[in-house]
A and B are shown apart, each in its own frame.
Chain A
Amino acid sequence: MGKKSIETLVGFFVLLGIGGLLFLALKAANLGSFTSSADTYSVTAKFDNIGGLKVRAPVRSAGVTVGRVAAITLDPKTYQGVVRLDMQRSVQFPSDSSARILTSGLLGDQYIGLEAGAEEKVLGPGDVIKQTQSAVVLESLISQFLFNKAADAGNASAGSAPAPAAGAKK
């Protein structure tokens, strides 16, 4: 095999290696983006707490994926999370649709669920979804549950014991 062809082949080999390394690095470092922006339009939604929502999480309506989360930022004035959604052009939603952050499975990853409203006007590019519901934070649920439990137990014992016992329970 000639000298030139060997060098060409080795160059191809090294190029393959660099390509593989770039693929691994980009996949691992979240630098690349693989969605085409031609057939999507962007809307934003504000949440008090986005929970564990990540960029590129799906946006689903009635369980069907209709878009992806494009970016998550913090509004410096209202301290709310601002989520930008890339919606497929083929699906239009009324302008009073509501967005909630739901979990797939019990401890799975979070996605945005859209419920269509009743308005005739539809969401256009750059519109804001006004009705939102934040993610459920497990710790608040648990502490609320425990607090209610303690309050119930305190009320039950207040019926059969003097007040100080109920006050001490709290």
Chain B
Amino acid sequence: MTNPIRRIGQFALEVLRGLGHNATFFIDLLRNMPAALRRPFLIVAQVHAIGNLSLLIIMASGLAVGFVLALQSYYALVTYGASESLGLLVNLSLVRELGPVVTALLFAGRAGTSLTAEIGLMKAGEQLAAMEMMAIDPKSRVLAPRFIGGIVAMPVLAVLFSAIGIMGAYVVAVQLIGVDEGNFWSIMQNGVDVWRDVGNGIVKSVVFGVICTFVAVYQGYEAQATPEGVAHATTRTVVIASLSVLAMDFVLTALMFTH
């Protein structure tokens, strides 16, 4: 009779303990960042592994999203004679929301899982334990460079996503559909503010980069040192990172874009 109640209480305490463990891990990671910054090549190698290798999927997705946004927005706007504002609509959608969020979701799926799997397998192969034996904190040599690499790579990817999306929308709108080119760019330029829209989008993408990379690194480090454990950790990375990004997006949008 008291078993379900005890299980609920146990579950709640586990959640609290997990949150606390997350927080101490995050502070530990921050503490190790200066050591990582003293070895810049480690960070450069991680930016390559995380950012460069994600270029293809981010740019292809950006192009596709730009095409589709232009098409759908045109047919919605032309009903009200507002098809000249197509460029503005596409730009604001991409730069404020779709760029940071979709890039973060793709990033969690592509780079997050590879980070988790790599660190989990290092743990399974006892490489992290071996490092600790040599009095090297694995957080400073393995985890912190990956964390910094993710934070550096994410805004770059988000900006590229938005830029290529706008170019794709230009091709569809002006060349294919026939929207006036001058109006496309000039209404967009008059309606988009560099600091408020582009700048806030970049702030969002930095926050999402921190979230995705931290979740990936944490799940990898805390994975069970077995193949199933690594598989579970990889799944948890994608799910937790994606949900956190979406929730954080709502909070940030409410903070940044409402009056």
Query: Which residues from chain A sit less than 8 Å from chain B, CB to CB?
Result: 3, 6-7, 9-10, 12-14, 16-17, 19-21, 23-25, 27-30, 34, 54-58, 65, 68, 104-109
> Is B194 engaged at the interface, CB distance under 8 Å to the other chain?
yes
**How long is the Cα–Cα vector from A113 to B118 in the complex, in angstroms?**
64
Q: In the complex, which residues of chain A have a beta carbon less than 8 angstroms from the beta carbon of B45?
A: 6
Asked if A27 and B91 make an inter-chain contact with CB atoms under 8 angstroms apart, the answer reads: yes
Determine whether the beta carbon of B188 is less than 8 Å from that of A27. Answer: yes
B190 CB to nearest chain A CB (Å): 7
Inter-chain contact A34/B186, CB cutoff 8 Å? no
Q: Which residue of B lies closest to A60 (CB)?
A: B180
Residues of B within 8 A of A28 (CB): 91, 95, 188-189, 192-194, 197-198
Q: How far is the CA of A153 from the CA of B48 in the complex (A)?
A: 78
Q: CB distance A55 to B180 under 8 Å?
A: no
Chain B at the A interface: SS class? helix
**Which of the candidate stretches B135-143, B158-166, B210-218, B222-230 sits at the interface with the other chain?**
B158-166
Which one, B44, B160, B188, contacts A10 given CB within 8 A?
B44
What sequence of 0s and 1s flags, for each residue 163-191 of chain B, a beta carbon within 8 Å of any chain A beta carbon? Answer: 11011000000000000101101111110
Q: Encode B83-101 as 1/0 by CB contact (under 8 A) with A.
A: 0100000010001000000
- Contact between B185 and A13, CB atoms less than 8 A apart: no
Q: Evaluate contact between B47 and A54: CB separation under 8 angstroms.
A: no
CB contact between B52 and one of A3, A9, A29, A107 (< 8 Å): that residue: A9
Is the CB of B66 closer than 8 A to any CB of chain A? no
Closest to B157 in A: A17
Contact A7 B183 (CB under 8 A): no
In the bound complex, residues from chain A placing their C-beta under 8 Å from that of B4 are none
Known: A24-B162, A27-B189, A56-B186. A10 touches B81 (CB 8 A): no
Do A6 and B189 touch (CB < 8 A)?
A: no
Residue B220, interface by CB 8 Å:
no
Provide the residues of chain A in CB contact with B182, threshold 8 Å: 56-58, 68
Other-chain residue from A3, A6, A20, A57 in contact with B160 (beta carbon distance below 8 A): A20
Question: Contact between A24 and B44 (Cβ–Cβ < 8 Å)?
Answer: no
> Interface readout for B14-36 with A: 1 if CB under 8 Å, 0 if not?
00000000000000000000000
A27:B41 contact, CB within 8 angstroms: no
State the CA gap A20–B62 with chains docked (Å): 12
Q: Is the CB of B51 within 8 A of A10?
A: yes
- Nearest residue (CB) in A for B180 is A58
Inter-subunit contact A24/B51 (CB<8 Å): no
Q: B159 contacts A24, CB within 8 Å?
A: yes
CB neighbours of B190 from chain A (8 A): 30, 54
Asked whether B163 lies within 8 Å of A23 as measured between CB atoms, the reply is yes
Given contacts A6-B44, A108-B81, contact A20 B183 (CB under 8 A): no
Q: Do the beta carbons of A27 and B55 come within 8 Å of each other? A: no
Alpha-carbon separation in the docked complex, A106 to B202 (Å): 37
Could you list 10 A-B pairs, sorted by A, with CB under 8 Å? Answer: A7-B44, A10-B52, A14-B156, A17-B160, A20-B156, A27-B192, A56-B185, A68-B182, A107-B81, A109-B84
